[in-house]
Amino acid sequence: MFPCLVKSCISLFSSHVQVHPGTEVRVIDLYNNMSSLKPMWRQVTDFRKAIDSIMTNAPDGIHLICFSQGGLICRALLSTTPSHNVHAFISLSSPQAGQYGDTDYLKWVFPKHLKKTVFTFCYRRFGQKVSVCEYWNDPHHRFQYLQNNNFLSMLNGDIHHSNIKAWRENFLRIRKLVLIGGPDDGVITPWQSSHFGFYDSNENVIEMRDQEFYRKDTFGLKTLDARGDVWTCTQPEVKHVQWHSNYTVFMRCIEKWLT
């Protein structure tokens, strides 16, 4: 069984059922469209409530496929749930290291802002009530990010907090972390964020293993990697809205982890 956090994953499920007939599939349909801008921790709480009963009824474990912002919600859920029984966490084009870029999506959320000015809204108290602001990671305003961000900075262990050890232990309960993304996504910026890569202050992309949160192993990523339980898949020529309906992505990047 594997829940997915967006309604549009139904097309992906159809592929899965054909390959693994008899598998029970659940789609968690919450916070669609404008509701996705609600605070991240509120969404994490409500998704946890929805998944708790699924995990209880699947004592042998479940897989999670989580798309886009849903990938961050899933990771936060895993980090804050001590008794979860998730085997494979499949992050499908999700800004795991944050978001920073001028995209059509940004213009939809912030029509009067460019990427260089979004921090003036996001790194304020009211800005931290908008989901995208809670993982907006401006490499030119690191101090403001660390001072004001209340979601990604905690999840990645960029700031120390009282739950950091427990969250790390919870996250390490997963058996496999699958990170999927590609250079033609058009929304996740940089696209390498889907693989935990991100910009430095000069907007050069620093890959996962050179990130501070990896080197310090703040939330368990380095430990997972040392166990051989981190797998990345890069697929070109896939736009952001196509990941969950692309059969090649399913067969090349996902199918093998669902047994």
- Neighbour-count burial for 173-207, b at 16+ CB within 10 Å, e otherwise: bbebbbbbbbeebbbbbbbbbbbbbbbeeeeeebe
- When the pLDDT of each residue in the chain is averaged and rounded to a whole number, the result is 89
Q: What is the pTM of this model?
A: 0.91
For the stretch 43-93, pLDDT in tens is: 999 999 999 999 999 889 999 999 999 999 999 999 999 989 999 999 999
User: What is the residue-wise DSSP string for 125-170?
Assistant: TTGGGSGGGGGB--TT-HHHHHHH-SSHHHHTTSS--TTHHHHHHH
- Out of 63, 87, 141, 240, pick the active-site residue: 240
Give the residue-averaged pLDDT of 131-160. 96
Active site (annotated) includes residue 185: yes
Active site (annotated) includes residue 138: no
Amino acid symbol at 111: P
Residue 4 in this model has a pLDDT that exceeds 80: no
For the stretch 186-219, pLDDT in tens is: 999 999 999 999 999 999 999 999 999 999 999 9
Q: Which pLDDT does position 3 carry in this prediction?
A: 46
Residue 33 CA to chain centroid, in angstroms? 17
- Out of 15, 16, 36, 68, pick the active-site residue: 68
> What percentage of the chain reaches a pLDDT higher than 70?
87
Mapping DSSP to helix (H, G, I), strand (E, B) and coil, where does residue 246 land? coil
Residue 230 in this model has a pLDDT that exceeds 50: yes
Give the residue-averaged pLDDT of 124-136. 94
Mapping DSSP to helix (H, G, I), strand (E, B) and coil, where does residue 199 land? strand
- Neighbour-count burial for 153-170, b at 16+ CB within 10 Å, e otherwise: bbbbbbeeeeebeebbeb
Tokens 């801008």, residue? Answer: 37
For the stretch 27-41, pLDDT in tens is: 888 888 888 889 999
- Out of 185, 193, 195, 244, pick the active-site residue: 185
Q: Which pLDDT does position 2 carry in this prediction?
A: 45
For the stretch 103-121, pLDDT in tens is: 666 565 666 567 888 999 9
Strand 62-67 to strand 230-234: parallel, antiparallel, or no bridges (unpaired)? unpaired
Calpha distance 112→158 (Å, rounded): 29
- Quick count: other Cβ atoms within 10 Å of Cβ 122? 25
Q: Which pLDDT does position 259 carry in this prediction?
A: 78
